[in-house]
Every structure is written in C-alpha cells, then in structure tokens.
C-alpha cells in the first residue's frame, strides 16, 4: 500500500482558483476526486507566475502525505473567450490580425492587479507597451511580477502600443526568427 500512497497520475482539469500572493491554488480534476494543490513553484517551472481561474490545465500529480499535489504542468489553455473582443480597444482589429502578429519576447516593467494594468518592454525596444488585466485573463494569466519574462502580441490600439495577448516566455523564445515559417 505504501507504493500507492505516493503514486503519480496524469490529470486533465480546470483551475478552481489561484492566488499569486499566497503562492498556491487548486485544480479540479475532470475525473472527480479531491482538489489538487497547485504551488507557484510548479507554475514557475512551466514558465508562468500565475494562471487565470477557469483555465484548462493538464498536469502530473502525486499523492503525498498532505494530499494530491501537482508536480508538473504539461499544458495550460486560457478560459474560453467567446466571440467578443477582449477590449473595445481591439474592436477594429480582426482576430486573425492579432493571431498573425508575432510573439515578441518581453519583460514586465510593472503590473498592478488592483489597478488592472501595467507596462512591459519588448526586448531591444525602449517603448512601453500597455498591459490590461482583461488581456491577461483571456491569455490564461492572473498577475505579472516586475522583471518577469513574457511573450506578447503587440498591436497599435486606441491607447498606443498594447499587448493583445500574453504568453509564457518560452512561447516568445520559440517564435524568435520564425517569421519565415
């Protein structure tokens, strides 16, 4: 029985809630069972510091003395968006245009979740890019930390240069130089 106590499993489910300030949250398995602890360190190993509530997630879990915990994240999909634009700023920009805009490796300058916005800089460029909380949520993120490396799709919006989508750093690093593909 001791072997079963610490067994691992591949689980698909959804993020029940995640609080970056507390450093943890919980996942609900599609197969039922107890809530699964999701620690910020596991999320950071995936390349993110937060995840939006309701995001679809695929994880490897382990039964521990303290309950079921996520030990590895395999994938995260943001909550369903629907057909409406994330912000009215993007109403005149087609979804295809946004999706065809390359991901650019960037670094968070600052982000205030309470205010609902912040700024980042694309590597090699000094201009500030506006980050709105709703774009984060629709990208599957809940918060950003100063200095955090991310990838953004940047468009010209009504407020100037704006992030239309934000992803983990690895997505931008993988797409650098891939415009010819």
Distance CA 93, CA 157 (A): 8
Q: Is the pLDDT of residue 165 over 60?
A: yes
What spatial distance separates the first Cα and last Cα of the chain, rounded to whole Å? 51
Please determine whether the domains at 2-77 and 88-175 fall in the same fold group of CATH: yes
Q: Which residues of 127-165 are buried (b: 16+ CB within 10 A; e: fewer)?
A: eebbbbbebbbbbbbbbbeeebbbbbbbbebeeebbbbb
Per-domain boundaries in the chain = 2-77, 88-175
Read off the DSSP letter of residue 7. -
Q: Give the Å distances, CA to CA, from 66 to 37, 90, 151.
A: 9, 45, 35
The CATH number, out of the four listed (3.60.20.30, 3.40.50.300, 2.40.50.140, 1.10.340.70), of the domain defined by the range 2-77: 2.40.50.140
> Using one digit for the tens of pLDDT, what is the confidence trace for 118-149?
999 999 998 999 999 888 888 888 889 999 99
> Residue 89: which pLDDT band, with cuts at 50, 70 and 90?
low
Range 88-175 classified under CATH 2.40.50.140: yes
> Using one digit for the tens of pLDDT, what is the confidence trace for 45-85?
988 888 888 889 999 999 998 899 999 999 988 877 655 45
Q: How many other C-beta atoms can be found within 10 angstroms of the C-beta atom of residue 119? A: 15
């Amino acid at each position: 029985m001791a072997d079963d106590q610490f067994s691992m499993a591949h689980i698909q489910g959804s993020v029940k809630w995640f609080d970056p300030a507390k450093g943890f949250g919980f996942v609900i398995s599609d197969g039922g069972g107890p809530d699964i602890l999701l620690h910020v360190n596991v999320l950071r190993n995936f390349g993110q510091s937060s995840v939006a509530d309701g995001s679809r997630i695929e994880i490897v879990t382990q039964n521990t003395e303290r309950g079921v915990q996520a030990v590895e994240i395999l994938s995260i999909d943001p909550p369903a968006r629907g057909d409406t634009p994330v912000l009215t700023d993007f109403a005149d920009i087609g979804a295809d245009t946004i999706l065809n805009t390359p991901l650019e490796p960037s670094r968070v300058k600052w982000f205030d979740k309470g205010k609902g916005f912040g700024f980042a800089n694309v590597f090699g460029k000094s201009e500030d890019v506006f980050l709105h909380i709703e774009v984060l949520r629709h990208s599957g993120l809940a918060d950003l930390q100063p200095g955090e490396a991310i990838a953004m799709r940047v468009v010209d919006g009504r407020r100037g240069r704006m992030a239309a989508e934000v992803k983990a750093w690895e997505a931008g690093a993988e797409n650098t130089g891939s415009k010819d593909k």
